[in-house]
Amino acid sequence: MSGLKSNLATCLLVMAGLAIHSGCRTANTTVQPAAKPPNYPTGAIELKYYAQGPWDVTTRVDCCDSAGHKFDLYYPKNLGANGFRHPILTWGNGTFGKPQNVASFLEHMASWGFVVIATEDSFTGLGRTILDGVKYMIQLDCCKPNNNIFYHKLDKNQIGAFGHSQGAGGAIRAFMASAGTIKTVVPIELPAQVFCTFGPKCIDTKNLKSGSIFFIDGSNDSISPPTQPSWLTGEQSIEAYYAATPTNVEKVKGTIIGPGHNDIQGQPQCPADRHVPGCINGVYGYLGYPTAWFMDRLQGDAYAHGAFVNGTGEMFSETTNWELVASNIQ
């Protein structure tokens, strides 16, 4: 009887995945590979920049923008290693947003060698506090040598802006107001002009003069629709914003299949501790090509550039998680 009990105990351990014994039979316990997250890259370029970059990242909080809001900084721990000068990215929050809501996204950018400054302003549509971030970092680089880890570690000639929703419009405004200091801008889920009735004056991308822009939205975002509704006039979609942008401005647009308005807030999944309307897949789809864009534009990465070339770039492949792609990049 004791032998029977021993064999039964062994079989139970096997079924629990804790032991193997030839005296019992169990179902196949082969471990299945973990499922890939939503919007997992299918192209080599997107996959490279979807992964964490080579720089370990740290954060700190500084004070302050012109309206008294603190700055959250995300940056490589080993600043200036081997003489590297880090490009600067300035971030604009969406309405009622804060940098902590998009920390996974901002840390990802910093892991690729960028110093990211994000105002804690929750109403960035005017662009002023986003541009304040640029001025603050330039000041740190050039003029405060004592106990300043950023002194002569930044590339003041390579600066980008990006933002979400209201902050997407603010990032474009900062771009236009910077007199060329900001070289490129990535508006993420830029609201249609119909949503700016009660906010800052509507963004009109026909007023862009130079530099480059990469419009991004999700296919399930009704606030930033990919295509123009037939019953509306004006710039009411990413399609219309792209079309209005002058041809002398280098431009790309693309829609990630699946996400809604707030997937950028994934950490990387949609937050489990709070309901975020418009978060469907999480931040995954926003990691690869936006990072590649800044690597191309601000770090001269020729491999990343290959994603965006009109007609032949990787983004145009039918196997990607992107649709409605357009570009005038050569």
Q: DSSP letters of 37-66? A: PTT---SHHHHHHHS--SS-EEEEEEE--T
The pLDDT value recorded for residue 213 is: 98
Domain 42-327 CATH class label: alpha beta
> Does the structure show a pLDDT above 90 at 231?
no
Mean pLDDT, the chain, whole residue set: 90
316/325 Cα distance (integer angstroms): 6
The tokens describing 60, both together, are 């700190």
Residue in this structure with the two tokens 């902050």, named with its chain if needed = 167
pLDDT (tens digit per residue) in 107-131: 999 999 999 999 999 999 999 999 9
State mean pLDDT over 323-329: 98
> Does the structure show a pLDDT above 70 at 313?
yes
The pLDDT value recorded for residue 136 is: 97
Closest by Cα among 189, 185, 157 to 172: 185
pTM for the full predicted model: 0.89
- Among 14-18, 218-222, 320-324, which is the least confidently predicted range? 14-18
State mean pLDDT over 150-168: 97
The tokens describing 239, both together, are 């399609």
The pLDDT value recorded for residue 217 is: 98
- Among 230-234, 261-265, 290-294, which is the least confidently predicted range? 230-234
Domain boundaries, the chain: 1-32, 42-327
Read off the amino acid at residue 36: K
Sequence-ordered strand ranges (E) for 5-141: 57-63, 70-76, 86-92, 115-119
Q: How confident is the model at residue 196 (pLDDT cuts 50, 70, 90)?
A: confident
The pLDDT value recorded for residue 33 is: 65
C-beta atoms surrounding 194 within 10 Å:
14
Closest by Cα among 185, 192, 131 to 166: 192
